[in-house]
């Protein structure tokens, strides 16, 4: 249930900010944190992957 709430909040933020790098990093970090049961590596890895995805989506 926590994962669903984190994903919903992160998705809403990403849609509001229209897919920029920061929104992707926040969303990825939140999801990585929940999926890895709070490990630092999971959070940082999720933020990195989310930031890359957000950056690519935000390109014109």
pLDDT band, residue 18 (cuts 50/70/90): low
- What is the spatial distance between Cα 33 and Cα 59, in angstroms, rounded to a whole number? 26
Residue 57: how many other CB atoms lie within 10 Å: 14
Which is nearest to 27 in space by CA: 41, 16, 39, 60?
16
Helix axes 21-35, 40-58, angle to 10 degrees: 150
Q: What's the pLDDT score for residue 36? A: 92
What is this structure's pTM? 0.67
- Highest mean pLDDT: which range of 7-11, 22-26, 28-32: 28-32
For residue 28, pLDDT over 60 is answered with yes
């Amino acid at each position: 249930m926590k994962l669903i709430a984190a994903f919903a909040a992160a998705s809403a933020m990403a849609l509001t900010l229209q897919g920029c790098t920061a929104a992707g990093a926040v969303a990825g970090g939140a999801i990585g944190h929940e999926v890895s049961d709070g490990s630092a590596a999971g959070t940082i890895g999720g933020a990195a992957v989310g930031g890359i995805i957000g950056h690519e989506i935000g390109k014109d």
